[in-house]
Chains A and B, each alone.
Chain A
Amino acid sequence: MGLKDDLERFREVGEQRREDLADFIQYGDLGGSRPGEIKIPVKIVSLPEFEYDRRDKGGVGQGDGGTPDVGQPVGQPQPQPGDGDGEDGDPGEEGGDHEYYEMDPEEFAQELDEELGLDLEPKGKKVIEEKEGPFTDLTRTGPDSTLDFERMFKEGLKRKLAMDFDEEFLRELCKVEGISPREVFEWARGENLPVSMAWVEEAHEEVADERGTWSSIEEVEANVERESVQQKIRREGIKHVPFRREDERYRYPEIIEEKEKNVVVVNIRDVSGSMREKKRELVERTFTPLDWYLQGKYDNAEFVYIAHDADAWRVEREDFFGIRSGGGTKISSAYELAAELLEEYPWNDWNRYVFAAGDSENSSNDTEERVIPMMEEIPANLHAYVETQPSGNAINATHAEELERHFGTDADDVAVAYVNSKEDVTDAIYEILSTESDSDE
């Protein structure tokens, strides 16, 4: 019992058990993220209740800098203040229902690194500029504006701490009946006070009239309070920090060779008739986080989307996961198009990832005769194939197997992953990304 148990049972709801609730789970949609932000869908189970029809209910919105014109479309309704149920509205709790957590790709990549123990260090390929780094190097001369005052001040303070001593106390010592400068000096040295003989002699001279105030050193020690340097600085402030020329340091910038980390990701998807909704969804669930991850890892990420059945064509991201066509399947068509499109992204300047996904069905001999040679020909950090087969293996679906047989399971730059259900997604991502990190070492 307890929250851990509740969390555990929540994760199982609609999956391992409580199938009666499966229909009430919203996972949110992976798409819809704009560049530079990621929306992570969250599992939300809403028990059925008597509710208004959302459309018939309408709602209240707030204009941004003005009231919009009547008749203007408003898109998806904004969250309403009365929305949310259960104890969501407890005082003190901020925020309402979210189906998403927004984060930026960099954070996402970091999360994933931590989660999966990955450490993919992107390769900078192209030197774009030599630029001045932070002013971290130091030199002994330079323009005033670059003087590292903080350092000078610290050095001065150190010196003061090392040189300063309790002058008042030593002056009192000099007033002891019949004491000689040498005796004062030796006492001071015994106490590790950084005082010079010359100073003692001078002070001894100055208080000549008052000599005899004290009868012994012990009496002074008993009656005059000593003050440490720290206490003194606190009392007097640090007006007299001894600055020395030799402490002056001037900062100048490091010269850094900036390499831009470019990446181009080619996403290939089989859209043929055999790729039904479930398979399609699994591809989306695997590809989207991969895209986010690489986007977060590189300075400049470009994405190319290729859909194919027996032919291949380039599509926009919005369309990529939605397309269904009727035709047969020829995976090599996609690699031909990929090779052509990748000419725009020379291997010297770009990191390349080629991810393909489908249900492993291919026209006969296409894998062996055309796809494998092309995968070997197209230089890339990583080629990956993700097989989505929710129902296990179909008889003639052998593309993934053939790849694995040819390249082996521990190839540096080819990964094959199998996704049969949502639970496999994380493993597949790990499989793919860890293949790439291995090749890095």
Chain B
Amino acid sequence: MSKTNSNADRFRKQAIAADLAEPVAEARNLAQTLGLEPYPVKYWIIDYDEMNELIAYGGFQSRYPHWRWGMQYDRQQKQGQYTGGKAFEIVNNDNPAHAFLQESNTLADQKAVITHVEAHSDFFAKNEWFGLFTGGQSDEAQVNAAAMLERHARAIDEYMSDPEIDRAEVEKWIDHCLSLEDNIDQHRVFERRLDIDGPTEEIDEDLAEKLDELGLSEEIKGEVFDEEWLEKLEAEDGQVTFPEEPQKDILSFVREHGKQYDADAGRAVEMEPWQRDVLDMMRAEAYYFAAQKMTKIMNEGWAAYWESTMMTDEAFAGDDEFLNYADHMAKVLGSGGLNPYSLGMELWEYVENTTNRREVLERLLRVEGISWRNLTDVVDFDDVLETLEPPAALDSITVDTLEDVAELPDEWVDHEALERARDGEIDVEKYPWKVLTYEGLARRHYSLVKRQHRGFLSRVSQNELERIGRYLFDDARYDSVEEALEDVDFSAGWDRMYDVRESHNDVTFLDEFLTEEFITENNYFTYEHSKATGQFHVASDAAEDVKKKLLLQFTNFGKPTIAVYDGNYNNANELLLGHQYNGVMLDLGKAKETLKRIFELWGRPVNLLTIVKEVNEHDVEVAKRRNREPEPEERGKLVRYDGEEVTVENVPWDEVEHLSAEDVDYDTKPDEWLA
């Protein structure tokens, strides 16, 4: 941070840090007892300005020089200045993770932030999509994000200060790369590439690092790999088309095969070493941030869920702080709309509740005389819920009830800790959870009996009952409901949540857990644009339609899928991209501008095949008069930029047919719409 801190400033922050030492240590203990496995977190106390700076930099202290950080800083500052917006926390995905606490937060806010951060850190460490970035490395536990970004900052800074290189050129080059930052293959393990062309597969990334550290000049590195590089080039010349399969990672393709356009010479020339280097860095950063963009709802919901469990259910906020905390929570969750915090948290609760409900129902269905047909008639759900209430000794733990705790089933109690609590070493009034295990806490916070979820069990539909009943693995029979309930696994909900947080991303998460009930309760609807009226109209409130539209917004970062189809198009080394059409057309204006940027990274003409929807004026007129929507016609187009001008020409349908997906339809317009 550019600001130098005065001593007074430092002492003040140290004092705050000292007060937070205990909450930080205990939040981690609690998180781990609850089953979270976060990366270690380093906490920093910072002031308001520093917080703004960090947010502008995307959570890191050092980024490459670029106007976009200035833009975000400007926005952040104005937001704070004009709206009193309060930044609570920022945590970055790294091992160890770094979290930043604003010094002006109240203690309750700080505690909330800390619990929230611990859950994020667990998500970073355990979600497989985050693993794609670290997975290609020799040591998967290392993220090294701060170090990487710092290295990029220094390298780009050096290029910009190099008298041989025009600073504006570097900035422009970065912009070109950023236009493609979402055009990567985010579902694959990130493969780091070397600073020059050449086979990278055999070369361990550690070696690449070492080469970097040796500080070899680009020329030397070029010589080392020169032969291989030439061989590869020659081999490519022999091919008629490449890549063999359409390649989504456009950034990597232009990095390997692109050139720069030399305006003076009027032709493509090899990229400068710094240009390749910048491309590599931008691509690495795009991969690093991709996981966060893919798991926004899950990750925020996850943090909100565990924050709430720790802060409210486990009273991590002291009594006097609780009001303050409730206020904070209301601000965050109540921001309206499809806010990732509340949507995510509700979905996680849904995962927990359905799993727990399924567990209970599976037990009940094994009771003699109970089947999916009669379950709702013969079982009294209120009685069931009563039985499922946690025992009093577990529910409220004080110094005086330690003997009762000792009587609880062994798997719930940490007997060693209990011993220490008896000796007064553990303050159970403040930290009752310390004498419990994961299973004990799961029992203590069993979701189905919580006030807000009490109706969940009885709301089970006949369909779901049937589904569970039909596929039940009939390994045990019970004589009574009581006997069946004794076998209920109270950790089932949490266990399932931990599985889901490992393997899902927002798309699969929404797809699997966004329910009709949720959509209807929250009055969600889809809207579509009408060519006849020139306006957006409500199109549907059917759950499957809403879900479809939502998925469109989360699939592939909410962006259309574009892939490289040919790197030797027209047999003239032109680039051919294809838009994998899913029924929603491209913004052609933006696509043309993007092609101009790609031209700079390819050096030769660039082409894009796409499908557009066209309606003729006459049909629109007719439709208007009849209060209908004109039927658009789908047509193939080839958009081309040759360095001078953009042209768009029609192409026959069979040239684009392979791009069109038949099995998806994101259009939610009803047949009788505007009538």
Give the B-binding residues of A (Cβ under 8 A): 1-13, 17-18, 20-21, 23-24, 40, 42-45, 47-83, 85-87, 89-95, 98, 101-103, 107, 111
Contact = CB atoms under 8 A, between A and B. Distances in A.
Most-contacted residue by chain A among B533, B552, B675 (CB, 10 A): B552
B43 interface: no
Contacts of A83: 553, 558
Contacts of A79: 337
A52 B541 contact: no
B332 A94 contact: yes
Nearest to A9: B67
A60 B559 contact: no
A56 B300 CA distance: 29
Given A47-B175, A52-B585, A63-B523, A8 B537 contact: no
Given A70-B670, A92-B90, A47 B172 contact: no
Interface in B622-675: 666-668, 670, 673-675
Contact of B82 (A6, A23, A55, A101): A101
Contact of B303 (A21, A65, A91): A91
A49 B179 contact: yes
Contacts of B562: 50
Contacts of A107: 82
A78 B549 CA distance: 14
Contacts of A72: 537-538
Contact of A69 (B71, B88, B538): B538
A296 to B, nearest CB: 13
Nearest to B49: A3
Contacts of B69: 3, 6-7, 10
Most-contacted residue by chain A among B117, B296, B666 (CB, 10 A): B296
Nearest to B183: A50
Given A42-B74, A72-B538, A107-B82, A58 B178 contact: no
Interface stretch (B56-64, B204-212, B565-573): B56-64
A63 B549 CA distance: 16
Interface in B239-274: none
A103 B584 contact: no
A10 B67 contact: yes
B168 A17 contact: yes
A112 to B, nearest CB: 12
Contacts of A24: 593
B59 A90 contact: yes
Contact of A66 (B58, B523, B666, B673): B523
Contacts of B58: 86-87, 90
A56 B522 contact: no
Interface stretch (B387-395, B456-464, B524-532): B524-532
Contact of B536 (A48, A65, A77, A90): A77
B180 to A, nearest CB: 8
Interface in B441-491: none
Most-contacted residue by chain A among B67, B87, B550 (CB, 10 A): B67
Nearest to B527: A74
Contacts of A11: 70
A21 B88 CA distance: 33
Contacts of A23: 593
B549 A58 contact: yes
Given A44-B75, A53-B586, A81-B553, 15 more contacts: A7-B73, A10-B74, A18-B171, A49-B181, A50-B562, A51-B586, A53-B585, A58-B529, A59-B553, A72-B537, A73-B535, A74-B538, A81-B297, A86-B58, A87-B289
17 contacts: A2-B65, A9-B65, A52-B587, A56-B613, A58-B528, A59-B536, A60-B338, A61-B525, A62-B337, A71-B537, A74-B537, A78-B337, A81-B296, A90-B59, A94-B88, A94-B335, A101-B82
B575 interface: no
B533 A93 contact: no
A60 B666 CA distance: 12
B200 interface: no
B83 A82 contact: no
B299 to A, nearest CB: 5
A60 B523 contact: no
Interface residues of B, number: 110
B152 interface: no
Contacts of B182: 49-50, 85
Nearest to A104: B82
B303 A7 contact: no
Interface of B: 2, 53, 55-59, 65-75, 78-79, 81-83, 85, 87-92, 116-117, 120, 123, 157, 160, 168, 171-172, 175, 178-183, 289, 292-293, 296-297, 299-300, 303, 332, 335-340, 343, 520, 522-529, 533, 535-541, 546, 549-550, 552-554, 557-560, 562, 579, 584-588, 590-591, 593-594, 596-597, 613, 666-668, 670, 673-675
B523 A64 contact: yes
A82 B557 contact: yes
B2 A4 contact: yes
Contacts of B336: 62
A277 B529 CA distance: 29
Contact of A90 (B66, B90, B335): B90
A6 B335 CA distance: 31
B584 to A, nearest CB: 5
Given A5-B65, A6-B66, A7-B73, A67 B525 contact: yes
B549 A92 contact: no
B536 A75 contact: yes
Contacts of B537: 70-74
B70 A55 contact: no
B668 to A, nearest CB: 7
Contacts of A60: 338, 524-527, 546, 549-550, 553
B527 A43 contact: no
A101 B83 contact: yes
Most-contacted residue by chain B among A49, A57, A86 (CB, 10 A): A49
Contacts of B175: 21, 47
Given A10-B74, A43-B74, A59-B549, A70 B539 contact: yes
A94 B594 contact: no
Contact of B343 (A12, A47, A81): A81
A140 B558 CA distance: 72
Nearest to B597: A48
Nearest to B174: A47
Nearest to B297: A81
Contacts of A95: 79, 85, 335
Contacts of A94: 85, 87-88, 332, 335
A412 to B, nearest CB: 33
Contacts of B550: 60, 81
Contacts of A51: 559-560, 586-587, 590-591
Contact of B590 (A49, A77, A93): A49
B382 to A, nearest CB: 31
A291 B658 CA distance: 57
A3 B538 contact: no
Given A3-B69, A50-B183, A53-B586, A82 B525 contact: no
B584 A92 contact: no
Nearest to A89: B296
Contacts of B171: 9, 18
A280 B417 CA distance: 75
Nearest to B2: A2
A57 B525 contact: no
Nearest to A14: B67
Most-contacted residue by chain B among A67, A85, A87 (CB, 10 A): A87
A104 to B, nearest CB: 10
- What 4 A-B pairs come out closest when comparing CB atoms? A10-B70, A63-B523, A82-B553, A48-B593
Nearest to A8: B70
Contacts of B59: 87, 90, 92
Contacts of A101: 78-79, 82-83
Nearest to A7: B70
A147 B123 CA distance: 59
Given A11-B70, A43-B71, A50 B338 contact: no
